[in-house]
Structures are given as structure tokens and as C-alpha cells.
Amino acid sequence: MDPVSRRHMLAATATGALLTAGGPRALGADGPTSDPGPQNRALGAQNPSAFLPPPTDHGDMPTFKYPYNLEHTRHTDGGWARQVTVKDFPIARSIAGVDMRLIAGAVRELHWHLPAEWAYMTYGRARITAIDPQGRRFAADVAEGDLWFFPSGYPHSIQGLGPDGCEFLLAFDDGKFSEDSTLLITDWIAHTPMDVLTQSLGVGAELFAHAPKRELYIFPAPLPPELSRDLAHSAQDFVPEPFSYALHAQRPNFAGPGGTVRIVDSSNFKASSTIAAALVELNPGALRVLHWHPNADEWQYYLGGTGRMTVFAGESKARTADFSAGDVGYVERSSGHYIQNTGSDPLRFLEIFASDHYAEVTLADWMANTPPELVAAHLGIDPRLLETIVRPPTPVMPR
């Protein structure tokens, strides 16, 4: 840096000019914002707000970002799975998440578990099956952008379809839940006395002659027949409310120049009794406006693009983090936050809540629907200025 621009930078620092911009601070070649020591530049480039947070950030807050790319992946002959739970991401107490890949034909074994399972298809196609406690059955084919929900304890399976199987995100309504601790049909059979198995099903021992001695978990299998044939194998009734839902086919709850929001909870996806969610798409520069959720913590999964989120936790505490595809974000119940698209592509993410319904309170709604003199007294302004707040308040604002 030449002496003139160096002097300029030092002067700017001295007058606090670096700290007044609303956006991120500039990385200095020298001076107080330089970083001459060792560093991981690739990681630093993905996390600019960690080293140079907005000057409004303050205080000590736990991390609320965890990338799936840091997780151990469990590989099998039919695909793989990796999970983010409280073990690695301690703030995320209400939801545990799994990212799973099944090649064509591969099966996530018939199983059940204590928490409910909500899923979003991120790639390809899958066949899912389940039954309810009345013995009523369910089977459906799902594709990218579709959801499913299996209530706590309901047995189910997932199978990759052609041409290239599938990948999907699972969200369980318990942050402690481990995908490795599900109850599997092969594991149960392997740990039940043969005379009990045969008596319980009214069959001969030959039915279990080739049963595996250990769990299969994820295993290769032939592609299933057409769905119509899979549905015709039994005369038993179907479940009254389907366990799958075409979220992308849903008309957005909000659509504007800044992007779209689709909300899905038990009011429109009836089976989803303990998980609510929103799929948000923000255009470049657009903002998911300042808000909080009064009913539940928010577990986020980033599907594409890049953005940043600041979480405000009271007591002057605020922290900003950057997110891109494959990252998990977390906001504790009632903490204020916004999400801003900082890239040149659309920013797409899921907000997931362990609740039967979606709820949020926005700063704009609050300020627009409180007596103006009262609000103006807080801000030291003319109450008429409050009439400039956008009405009706929207969940997304364009650049």
C-alpha cells in the first residue's frame, strides 16, 4: 500500500469511518483489520462475517452455524448418511437433521423411531411406505421439492428410484436423536427367539431361514414395480391423511419482487402434526425481514445461494454468520433475526420448527400496529415518520 492510501486508511480508522458502514467492514492490507498470521483462506472466504462482523454485533453468543461438510459420513453399498445433532451442534436442542443419499433401488430399511420424521427431497425420486397403528397403509413416490412426515413411532421405509436414486433432508423433532439408534426390522428379528417369531406370525421357521444376523440399515435392492402394483398388493385401507406433500406445487403464501415464502404446517399438510416449516427463496440483495418466532426454535437448512444472518438475543448481544448450500443454521425461540441474500444467485433455505403451526412476529408489524406516539417516543422522532413503514408488512423485502 502506498503511503497516501495507508495514511487515508489510518485516518478513516481513527475517525471511526470503518465502523459506520451498515455492511461488512473492509479487510485491511494492514492496520487494525489486517490478518497477517496463519489462516485457512478458503474457510475465511466463506465466513467473512466471522472475522469482520457488522459493527452492530456485540457480546458472547454460541455458534448457530454448522456445515454438513464437517460431519462424518456413514457409507454403505446403497448410499450414505450424515447427521447434525446436539453432539456437534449444542445449540440445536429441538431438531436433529440427517442428509441421506440412496442410489437407485437402494432401501433405507423398514424401521421406526421415537421422534417424528419430516423430510424434504433435495434430489431425484424415492418411494416411501408406512402404516399407522390401525394397520392402514401408505405408499407414494416423491420427487425433488416434495415432503413427507411420519409421526412418532410409525414404521416406514424409503427406497431410491430411477434413474439415479435420491438425496433428502430428514428433520427429527428431538436434537438428541441419532439416526444410528432407530429400531430396524432385521435387528428385531435377529434378537427374538425363533419359537416366538414363528408363533407370533403363525408361520414356519423357513420364513426366517435367510434373515440377516445384523441390521441392513441401507442396502442395495432391485427397483420396485410401478406404484400402482405396490398399492394393489393388499385390500387394507389407506391412511386417511397422506404422509407426503408436494410443497413446490403449493402456491406461495407470499410472492413479491424480493422472493417467495411457502409455509407448510398441520393446517395444510394435515399429517404433519409436530413439524412446521417454511421454504424461502430470496432474490439477490433481498431480505427476510426482521422477525422472531414466539412458538419454537428455528432449524434452518440452506439449499442454495449465499446469505448472512444476524441473531439478536437481548442484553446487547448480536452475532452474524454466513451461510451457503449444505449449512445448518439455528435460532432459539423468540431471538430476533433477519436473513439477507449476499450473493448473485437466489438464496434458498428451509425454516423448520418443532411445532404443529407456523408463527412469526415482524418488527414492521409491531411498529406499524402500535400507537405511533408511543413508538415515536422510543425513537425520538415525529410520529408521522412511522407512516412510511411498508404496509402491509411483508416477510421479504427486495433490495
User: Which active-site residues does the annotation give?
Assistant: 351
Nearest residue to the partner Mn ion, using Cβ: 117
Q: Count helices and strands (H / E) in the chain.
A: 8, 25
Where does this chain touch Mn ion (CB under 5 A) — which range of 37-45, 246-254, 294-302, 317-325?
294-302
291, 393 Cβ separation under 8 angstroms: no
Query: Least separation, in Å, of the C-beta of 221 and Mn ion?
Result: 17
Backbone torsions φ then ψ of 379, nearest 5 degrees = -95, -5
Q: Does 174 bind Mn ion (CB under 5 A)?
A: no
Tell me the residue length of the chain.
399
Where does this chain touch Mn ion (CB under 5 A) — which range of 78-86, 115-123, 259-267, 361-369?
115-123
Where does this chain touch Mn ion (CB under 5 A) — which range of 75-83, 109-117, 188-196, 244-252?
109-117
Phi-psi region of 14 (alpha: psi -120 to 50; beta: other; left: phi over 0): alpha
Contacts of 3 (CB under 8 A, 6+ apart): none
Residue 180 in grid coordinates: 444410528
User: How many Å separate Cα 234 from the centre of its chain?
Assistant: 36
What is the rounded distance in angstroms from the CA atom of residue 170 to the CA atom of residue 270? Answer: 18
Query: Least separation, in Å, of the C-beta of 123 and Mn ion?
Result: 18
Residue selected from 71, 99, 109, 117 as contacting Mn ion according to rule CB under 5 A: 117
| Cβ nearer to Mn ion, comparing 146 with 298 | 298
User: How many Å separate Cα 208 from the centre of its chain?
Assistant: 40
**Closest C-alpha among 126, 139, 140, 117 to residue 273:** 117
User: How many Å separate Cα 144 from the centre of its chain?
Assistant: 15
Query: Least separation, in Å, of the C-beta of 197 and Mn ion?
Result: 23
Query: Least separation, in Å, of the C-beta of 117 and Mn ion?
Result: 5
| Cβ nearer to Mn ion, comparing 158 with 161 | 158
Query: Least separation, in Å, of the C-beta of 360 and Mn ion?
Result: 6
Q: Binding residues for Mn ion, per CB under 5 A?
A: 117, 298
